[in-house]
Structure 1
């Protein structure tokens, strides 16, 4: 599963850079323009808010159920399970109360993404379960991981909030994000999401959590690259000094 996680997410990164985007958000319209009319008419779509709830809810419920399935697994397990459950619970709350949506999601894309989130969450929790009885790592990183996770989830939420404030209720268009770290990178929410998963990896200290982190970094690098490219193509006043993901570097 560690190999599958890295390879599949690396392939998603490659697909994003090639222009084969996952069909939600602004990139749904990019794919829409490339498709033939008959193909589009056959596709089943759902409103973006509904689609995003479908994405995150199973993973959140898996994390929640794990507390009952594995009730006495120790502090490290509880911290990993809590971090994953909080991560997806935050996502669900953001979908319901923070984000504003203007597009639709293709159900054919929605289902595999949902499955991926669910399987990754279950695998990370089960991998932690398998460490029961194994000696603790020589270098215990879980407390550093807790701090990184909290900073990551807080920064991710803050920049999602800034994105939500770009639109009025009747506004369906896209604008250049401002505030926070948006003057340095176009996807600071991705940067903080990565930081959050660095924290989860440090708490967990399993091979799978590290592999999932590496795959996530690759995918979000690809996603941020095409996001910056999209803004450059849509807005003449978009600053070329704004990087993709890492301030002043990438």
Structure 2
């Protein structure tokens, strides 16, 4: 057994004022067992709130890492780790559920109660019905994936971030998009719709086909990613196959196609605004994932694979 000291990287929370803590552990003990020892001493200091690092470093150590590996094989008496309180946490699954529920609530309110928002009834056009169906099916699919498909590498996030994360969907894909699309401008009797391509059945069916292709392709890539990570692990592998042979994040690429279809078929300012925001945010996510893939797998990772857009970027 080896004596390990656990000090604080910042001001300790009120329920762990007794830190630093010294415990006896085996070299093959994991970071998860260190967190458990802290919880045993300070029951309110839950594992999800703890970020464990080597002394003086900021990179968190994952739960599966052994102490021997964390210290590069030099784990001995006097070794020290630091713990930081991350504050109250909420599961990523809960965050996703809250994010996607917003548009599922907002769109029906605008679609079914137009008099409240626009001061008049709206005879819905075919394009409004299509978009309404697209949006609801998209977010129902996302909720389904949250419960039955996604496997999260990180268990929790600070509860304070849930508002920030949800705003993108609740405001842009929810309130702004719904308010713009279901207003009288797009109604069945509007000059913007009557005798235009937006009222052409063939055009609408083509848009529906492109949208359905993007959604099913997005689901397929999520299933591919799920198959790479056994349940209860943080294992990472190189994804191959449909979409992944061209870009690192085809799930984002296919989602962009879906929102671009809605923006293009309606020519909605809110639609283009949400599309622009989605491309910007998913580009940041894709860049980070692409970089991590290349860092983790080195020469094994396909050199010609782009980040987000096939053959381009």
TM-score, normalised relative to structure 1: 0.78
In the alignment, structure 1 residue 69 sits paired with structure 2 residue 113: yes
2:143 is the alignment partner of 1:92: yes
Name which of 238, 241, 254 aligns with 1:179. 241
1:246 corresponds to 2:309: yes
For residues 115 and 229 of structure 1, do their structure 2 counterparts lie closer, same or farther at Cα, with a shift above 3 Å needed?
same
| 1:144–1:201 distance in 2 versus 1, CA, 3 Å | farther
- Normalized per residue, the structure richer in helix is 1
Q: Show structure 1 runs of 5+ residues with no match.
A: 1-27
Q: Deviations 1:16-72 (Å, cap 9, x if unpaired)?
A: xxxxxxxxxxxx99xx738xx78x514322122122112111222223444432474
TM alignment of 1:81-160, pairs within 5 A: 81-103=132-154, 104-120=156-172, 121-130=174-183, 131=185, 132=187, 134-136=190-192, 138-140=196-198, 142-160=204-222
Q: 1:241 to 1:230 in 2, by over 3 A?
A: same
Work out whether residues 59 and 118 of structure 1, in 8 Å CA contact, stay in contact via their aligned partners in 2.
Answer: yes
Question: How far off its partner does 1:242 sit?
Answer: 1.2
Structure 1's 106 and 176: CA in aligned 2 closer, same or farther, altered over 3 A?
farther
Find the residue that maps to 1:54 and give its secondary structure. helix
Q: Is the 8 A contact 2:86 2:158 kept in 1?
A: no
Higher radius of gyration, 1 or 2: 2
Structure 2: gaps of 5 or more residues: 1-50, 53-57, 61-81, 115-121
Structure 1 pair 170/209, CA: closer, same or farther in 2 (3 Å)?
closer
Q: Does 1:161 align with 2:223?
A: yes
- Asked whether the equivalents of residues 110 and 182 of structure 2 are also in contact (C-alpha less than 8 Å), the reply is no
Q: Which has the higher contact order (CA 8 A, sep 6+)?
A: 1
Give 3-state SS (helix, strand or coil) of 2:311's partner: coil
CA–CA separation in structure 2 for the residues paired with 1:135 and 1:72:
13
Select the structure that is richer in strand: 2
1:94 Cα deviation after fit: 0.3
For residue 154 of structure 1, report the CA deviation from its aligned partner.
1.0
- Runs of at least 4 residues off by over 4 Å: none
- Following superposition, the deviation at residue 219 of structure 1 comes to 2.4
Deviations 1:133-174 (A, max 9, x none): 542254435443222211111111110111111122243222
Contact (CA 8 Å) 1:66, 1:81: kept in 2 or not?
Answer: no
Shift of 1:78: 1.6
CA contact (8 A) 1:142 1:204 kept: no
Instruction: Let me know the Cα RMSD of the aligned residues.
Output: 2.5
List per-residue Cα deviations over 1:74-102 (Å, max 9, x = no partner): 22212112111111111000001111123
Q: Is the CA contact (8 Å cut-off) linking 1:49 and 1:95 kept in structure 2?
A: yes
Cα distance in structure 1, aligned partners of 2:166 and 2:90: 14
Structure 1 residue aligned with 2:296, among 234, 240, 245?
A: 234
